[in-house]
Amino acid sequence: MKSLFFLILILILGFKFYSIEFLATILVISFLIFFHELGHFLAAKSLGVKVEIFSIGFGKSLLEFNFKNTIYRLSTLPLGGYVKLKGQDDMRPGFENLDPDSYSILHPLKKIYILLAGPFFNLFLAFILYIVIGNLGIQKLSAQIGTIAPNSAAQIAGMKPDDIILSINGIKIQSFDEISKHLNLQPLNIVVDRNGEKINFNLTPKIGQGYNDFGQLVSKAQLGVSPKGTDILVFHTGLQSLNYALDESIKASTLIIKGIIKLITGEVEAKNLGGIITMANITSKAAQTSFTILLLITALISINLGILNLLPIPMLDGGHILFNIYEIIFRRKVPQKTFEYLSYGGMAILLSLMLFATFNDILRALQ
């Protein structure tokens, strides 16, 4: 009853602040959790482990059916999900079952295989979504120059407003955001389109101040140009879509890992940490903008979910993987009491992070 009341409250607040687009948040979260748990499910099944429950959501069951000794369940709280394997229960860390179809009797390497399957499925899903995005086309700022800073490398070389940058050192440029990736403090050859005429420029960018992906002020090589503001659709089709999907997946994964490191080291303030409200805000606005943007946000959240689940925190896949690596190295399991203390400690850490992220969300909403 409590979980059903909580679901109704979530829906009322969601529709109040985000209208019908809030459904996009529910669908995205549910789909990503489903795909993550599907990875665990298929890996467990491939090893003959009995899957007792496959649930989308937590709390009271809204709909369920039994198929081949597995209960498939849709629960009231759509903000998560789980697969319950025979012989494995996060709420009872020391629980074991020694039946032939139990998770408990598996070799640590087989357990790691099951644990890795969930995060891998999230990363694989993002890769597929990026292929779709590349073929649908992404709206970006064109590489047409709007303004040129005084005494900048571009001005000294003779570049002018309305020039369209076609290539840098022979590499094709399709959008303005691609330009910075090819800039360094070495001489460059830049080809521009000026009223239908191709013009070559040889110049060396100057060092300047700019912002990185985390909003930090850093020194970087710059041409000294800003975009015109015209939009174009950039496509990545055929085999090129595979390269695009791989590049974007690696870039997003690297960005998330760097962000985690910066949070831990204090380079990025903890107040930037966002929770479910931030996710709802982003996905709802993306749904209002375009289907492609919604797919892009879904891919990013999927990679985020995959990477975060690999963190070595007990209760997460990464924590269980760490326990199994310990067993492989020392040829014995983590002591029972230690395992339980660490598991409950991991649960407390995750709960604290969720509450802190939600608190940040509320503060941002009130500003």
Which residues are tagged catalytic?
A: 37
CA 341, distance to chain mean position in Å, is 30
Q: Give bridge partners of residue 15 from the DSSP assignment.
A: none
Strands 171-172 and 188-194: unpaired
Residues whose CB falls within 8 Å of the CB of residue 361, separated by 6 or more in sequence, listed in order: 274, 275, 276, 277, 278
CA 234, distance to chain mean position in Å, is 22
Phi-psi group of 331: left, alpha or beta (phi > 0 → left; psi -120 to 50 → alpha; rest → beta): left
Half-sphere exposure of 256 (CA within 13 A, CB side): 21
**b or e along 235-260 (b: 16 or more beta carbons within 10 Å of the residue's beta carbon)?**
bbeeeebeebbeebbeebbebbeebe
Note whether 65 and 49 are within 8 A (CB): no
Tokens (6 digits) for 256:
């998330």
